[in-house]
Every structure is written in structure tokens, then in C-alpha cells.
Structure 1
Amino acid sequence: MAGKSFIVTLKESVPDADVSKFKDSIRSLNGSITHEFSLIKGYTVHFPESLHANKLQDNHNSIIANIEEDKEVHTQ
């Protein structure tokens, strides 16, 4: 599956209606939600190579707490 995955965390105070708009926006950008976290308002989102998560940040800046690329982490 070509593309990149990102972990997107929403602010805890985001109403459910805005969460639905956020999810719809991901689909409209040809992305997909591959995992939804249960303890926080967080999602693993996959986008095609041609699209970067900045587009999502531009559209939903007021509700997004953090976006980071989902990649392997190593410890020393």
C-alpha cells in the first residue's frame, strides 16, 4: 500500500459533530482511517504519497492537537 500513515490526535473538547466532519474530510482527501484509539480521540490515518498531512491540518487546525508520521521507533 503506497503512501504514508500518520497518527492524528484531536483535542479532547472536540464535539462529536466535528469529529464526524474530520472523518469525512479524510475520506474526501482519498485517505483512510486504519485505526481508531479508544482512550483518546486519536486515529491512524493513511494518505496516498501525493497528499501530505498538512492538508488535513489546514482544514481542521482548530480541532487537531497533534499530527505525527506513524513510523517505527527504536530505543538505544
Structure 2
Amino acid sequence: MKFFGFVLGALALVSGAIAVDVQKSVIITYKENTPDSVIRDAKKAIVDAGGVITHEYTLMKGFSAKVGEKTLESVSAFSENYATIEEDKVVNAFGI
């Protein structure tokens, strides 16, 4: 019985060590009055955490990125007064 407990404990440790931050594709847009430093800091936090900026928008302030959920939480926390964050997904006019 002790061996079984040891195996369960070892499996729990291994699964925690192997767990990776799930990457999500997101679009982050900012209000017009957002300081450039807020956007620059958000991009830096994403890249420093292993995320990728996939596109920078020119007609509006914002960008799209592939980012881990933990990093996304921190970016949304320090940009909450300025940013809108939504999942990047395919949409169409007919809802199909």
C-alpha cells in the first residue's frame, strides 16, 4: 500500500513539473488616450514570457498575440483601464 502512495505522489510531482502555460490567440485593443508606454510594456511582458506578437494594428491602437494564460492575466491587470482583450477566432455573418 505504501508503494501505491509513493507512485501517486511521484506522478503528481511529474505532472506539475511538465505542466505548461496554455497559449491562447488574443486580440488586444486600446483606447485612443492610452499612453504608448502601456502598450510597449504589455508587448514586452508577452515576449519576455515566451509569447509572440503576431500582428500590430495601424488603424487602431492594438495588436494580436499568442500568449500564455498566466501572462495574459498580468497584462490585463496592468492595462485594465485601457485595454479590451478578446479571443482571436473566426467569425462569419451567418453564425455557421
Shift of 1:63: 2.5
**Higher Cα radius of gyration:** 2
Bigger mean CA deviation after superposition, 14-23 or 37-46: 14-23
The runs of at least 4 aligned residues of structure 1 exceeding 6 Å deviation read none
Q: CA RMSD in A?
A: 2.1
Richer in strand (by share) = 1
Q: Tell me the alpha carbon deviations over residues 29-58 of structure 1, each in whole angstroms, 9 at most, x when there is no partner.
A: 32111000101001011114x546333212
Q: Which structure would you say has the larger RCO, counting Cα contacts within 8 Å and 6 or more residues apart? A: 1
State the alpha-carbon separation in 1 of the partners of residues 77 and 49 from structure 2: 12
Helix, strand or coil at the partner of 2:59 = coil
TM-score of the superposed pair, with normalisation by structure 1: 0.76
TM-score of the superposed pair, with normalisation by structure 2: 0.63
| 1:46 has 2:58 as partner | no
Richer in helix (by share) = 2
Q: Tell me the alpha carbon deviations over residues 8-33 of structure 1, each in whole angstroms, 9 at most, x when there is no partner.
A: 00121112222221211111232111
Q: Which runs of 5+ in 1 are unaligned?
A: none
State the alpha-carbon separation in 1 of the partners of residues 43 and 71 from structure 2: 16
| Matches for 1:2-17 after TM superposition, within 5 Å | 3-17=23-37
Identity of aligned residues (%): 33
User: Contact between 2:39 and 2:62, CA under 8 Å: does it hold in 1?
Assistant: no
